[in-house]
A and B are shown apart, each in its own frame.
Chain A
Amino acid sequence: MKKSMIVVALCVVVLVPMALLTISIKENKAEQQAINAVPGIKDNETRASEWGKNYPRQYDTYMQTRKSEDITDVLKQDPALVVMWAGYPFSKDYNKPRGHYYALEDNINTLRTGAPVDKITGPLPTACWTCKSPDVPRLMKRDGELEFFTGKWAKYGDEVVNTIGCGDCHDNQTMKLTLTREYLKRGLDAEGSLKTADATHQDMRSLVCAQCHSEYYFKKTEWDDKGTKKTAMVVTFPWNKGFAAEKMEAYYDELNFSDWTHQLSKTPMLKAQHPDYETFVTGVHSRNGLACADCHMPYVREGGVKYSSHKVGSPLDNIANTCLNCHKGTEKEFRATIDKKLARKNELAKIASDVLAKAHLEAAKAWEAGATEEEMKAALQDIRHGQWRWDYAVAGHGAFFHAPEEILRTLGGSINLGQDARLKIRIVLAKHNAVDYVAPDFSTKEKAQALVGMDYGKLVEEKKTFLNGLRQEWIKQGEAKGIYDPESRKDMKLKTSYN
């Protein structure tokens, strides 16, 4: 009896604190769970300011991309481009890129996207939205990828209302980097050197950028929508044979693909679009394991918090936190070195554009003088390849720095092909009694646009009607649907090359 009494007393003495401790541990666990919870972003949330409520530092730096606001008219800088792109929207309007803040705005404002008056008019397909907004993956999920790529650009004017933002690169549940564009996964798997499934976190810090900063074309794809035959223009990466200019050229040649037929020379042309990722991987920084984010989104420390700046832009704005993390030297030296690299590229690029523009004009004269297709075929093939290589080298953002050797090599090839074409055309001109032909002057944007017979004034008028009409409708409808974020266009001013 006494024994059991002692046991009971002991047990109670032990039990009470143990029970209290268990309760305390449970409370602490609940508190910890609350502290560690991932701030939830609801599915299909495309408004950056909503994400920004939980990630204020990332959001603030992201919004700083609005400081990259200047418009630089590239057609004015090198009017030869108007001649080279005759018959293609790029000859109408082509500016240097501004910050991510302006990506959607500039896509809507450029003369290239024309002046639709309703959902089914307008020169360009829906694919032109692809890289401009986190609304795009939302729509691809909602409507299906093929439906997204079907129809005219204006079809989604009231749906694609937020500029490039959080949802383009981040998973809304875990905040991990994620690929929201299926065509990149297909491209990587076709190319083969880095399969999507093998991508590490460091790879992802480049691949989320490669979703847009890559060369692409619109692949015509017939599909069946529950009995209705539809045609989609699907963004596709021409990577099956490799990343180099020659490899993509061979890919396009095999498909017999052309973006457009040149208005003057009748060449089946290719247009290169910023092959940034493809050229970057050939350069020394990529080979040493760097990702885009290492230089374009450098780490920032604020007290105990370390985060990557989301002010994506030129690393030269912040040399101390980018280049100088690894290299010795001063900011001044770095600037001088990079200026020299740029000057080298510009020198060759200028020669190439001059040669190619003249080749187009001389080919036009040859046709006028009565040349036959047989006579012109070889020269046109040279123009096609020469201009493709020039475009591959200059269309990127900073390829002259990412991959200087590759870019100068490609430009060298371009000039050679352009001169070959001119030589062949000159022989044709001689046959048709026009051996003395001298290409007309295209030294200003206006002269060049007049030369290709463009009614620039009319384009601008139509665009302004669109901007004051349908464009305003899109904003209103986006607002009514609750998907448009006025914060994303705070203090936005109309800035273009034509106003």
Chain B
Amino acid sequence: MKYLAIFLVVAVVAVFANLVHESKMLSYLSSDPKVCITCHTMNTHYDTWQHSSHRNRATCVDCHLPRDSFVNKMLAKARDGYHHSLAMTLKTYGPNLRISNDAARRIQDNCISCHRETVSQMLTNSALYDKVEDGRVQMGRPCWQCHRDVPHGTMRNLMATQNNFINKVL
């Protein structure tokens, strides 16, 4: 029994090491947009971003993760990562992905933090006059309610970009 136990412990370590390797687990610590297309689910989002004006200025994590502190960033990453791997493994996602409330808030914060000069007056006005409609985000209305195609185009269906750039960057 003792030998079996030792053998199994070694097996667990080996299988775990293989899992780390196969899932490219450590790559998720990086901020490279290519990490986000480790799974094909993000092909459309990568591709539309890659063809947008944001590609030279903002990577995936610049918009989608909080930027106020490193701890918050990593916590958000861990939370998202957990949801994503669960959805990927159990195949619970559909062809149209929708953003979570938490992610919407983060993105809007990031829009405002880069475009602060442009939207400063809107921020003041909304604080003074707007009734808050959408409690998730600052100013009560997501930027992308009007700027609908920024930066992912108007169609984000997972099947929407065949023959995309992915095969050239991977």
- Per the bound structure, the CA–CA distance linking A31 and B160 in Å amounts to 17
B69 touches A (CB below 8 Å): no
Do A36 and B166 contact each other (CB < 8 Å), given the known contacts A4-B1, A25-B23? yes
Do A1 and B1 contact each other (CB < 8 Å), given the known contacts A55-B163, A301-B153? yes
Which stretch from B6-14, B103-111, B121-129, B134-142 is at the chain A interface?
Answer: B6-14
Residues of B within 8 A of A19 (CB): 15
Do A306 and B167 contact each other (CB < 8 Å), given the known contacts A4-B1, A11-B8, A11-B11? no
Shortest Cβ distance from A297 into chain B, in angstroms?
15
**A21, B11: Cβ atoms closer than 8 Å:** no
Partner of B153, one of A11, A28, A303: A303
**B88, A15: Cβ atoms closer than 8 Å:** no
Which stretch from B26-34, B44-52, B57-65 is at the chain A interface?
Answer: B44-52
**B40, A35: Cβ atoms closer than 8 Å:** yes
Contact with B along A188-230 (1 / 0, CB 8 A): 0000000000000000000000000000000000000000000
B170 touches A (CB below 8 Å): yes
Do A18 and B5 contact each other (CB < 8 Å), given the known contacts A39-B163, A305-B162? no
B39 touches A (CB below 8 Å): yes
Residues of B within 8 A of A299 (CB): 51
**B15, A303: Cβ atoms closer than 8 Å:** no
Residues of B within 8 A of A430 (CB): none
Residues of B within 8 A of A37 (CB): 167
Do A304 and B167 contact each other (CB < 8 Å), given the known contacts A4-B4, A15-B11? no
A337 touches B (CB below 8 Å): no
Partner of B156, one of A7, A8, A304: A304
- Per the bound structure, the CA–CA distance linking A32 and B46 in Å amounts to 14
B154 touches A (CB below 8 Å): yes
**B163, A7: Cβ atoms closer than 8 Å:** no
Do A36 and B170 contact each other (CB < 8 Å), given the known contacts A19-B15, A304-B154? yes
**A36, B167: Cβ atoms closer than 8 Å:** yes
Residues of B within 8 A of A39 (CB): 163
**B152, A18: Cβ atoms closer than 8 Å:** no
- Per the bound structure, the CA–CA distance linking A21 and B23 in Å amounts to 9
**A8, B18: Cβ atoms closer than 8 Å:** no
Residues of A within 8 A of B98 (CB): none
**B interface residues, tally (CB under 8 Å):** 38
Secondary structure at the A interface, as helix, strand, loop or mixed, is helix
Partner of A304, one of B2, B9, B19, B161: B161
Do A303 and B154 contact each other (CB < 8 Å), given the known contacts A21-B19, A32-B39, A36-B166? yes
**A12, B153: Cβ atoms closer than 8 Å:** no
- Per the bound structure, the CA–CA distance linking A21 and B16 in Å amounts to 10
**B5, A11: Cβ atoms closer than 8 Å:** yes
A77 touches B (CB below 8 Å): no
**B40, A26: Cβ atoms closer than 8 Å:** no
A465 touches B (CB below 8 Å): no
**A35, B43: Cβ atoms closer than 8 Å:** yes
Residues of A within 8 A of B168 (CB): 174-176
B22 touches A (CB below 8 Å): yes
User: Quick one: which of A12, A19, A175, A305 has the most chain B CB within 10 A?
Assistant: A305
- Per the bound structure, the CA–CA distance linking A403 and B12 in Å amounts to 70
Shortest Cβ distance from A211 into chain B, in angstroms?
22
Shortest Cβ distance from B158 into chain A, in angstroms?
9
B155 touches A (CB below 8 Å): yes
Residues of B within 8 A of A31 (CB): 40
Shortest Cβ distance from A39 into chain B, in angstroms?
7
Shortest Cβ distance from B50 into chain A, in angstroms?
9
A336 touches B (CB below 8 Å): no
**A24, B22: Cβ atoms closer than 8 Å:** no
- Per the bound structure, the CA–CA distance linking A31 and B48 in Å amounts to 21
A330 touches B (CB below 8 Å): no
- Per the bound structure, the CA–CA distance linking A18 and B15 in Å amounts to 7
A480 touches B (CB below 8 Å): no
Complex: chain A residue closest to B169, CB-CB = A36
Partner of B2, one of A4, A11, A25, A306: A4
**A306, B8: Cβ atoms closer than 8 Å:** no
Complex: chain A residue closest to B51, CB-CB = A306
- Per the bound structure, the CA–CA distance linking A305 and B155 in Å amounts to 8
**9 more CB-based (< 8 A) A-B contacts, given A4-B2, A304-B47:** A8-B1, A22-B18, A36-B166, A36-B170, A174-B167, A299-B51, A304-B153, A304-B157, A304-B160
- Please name 20 pairs of A and B residues whose Cβ atoms are closer than 8 Å in the assembled complex, sorted by A: A5-B1, A7-B5, A7-B9, A18-B16, A19-B15, A21-B89, A22-B19, A26-B22, A32-B39, A36-B166, A36-B167, A36-B170, A299-B51, A301-B153, A303-B153, A303-B154, A303-B155, A304-B156, A305-B162, A306-B48
Rank and list the top 5 A-B pairs by shortest CB-CB distance, nearest first.
A304-B160, A303-B155, A11-B8, A304-B155, A4-B5
Interface residues of A (CB under 8 A from B): 1, 3-5, 7-8, 11-12, 14-15, 18-19, 21-22, 24-26, 28-29, 31-32, 35-39, 54-55, 174-176, 299, 301, 303-306
Interface residues of B (CB under 8 A from A): 1-2, 4-5, 8-9, 11-12, 15-16, 18-19, 22-23, 39-40, 43-44, 47-48, 51, 88-89, 152-157, 160-164, 166-168, 170
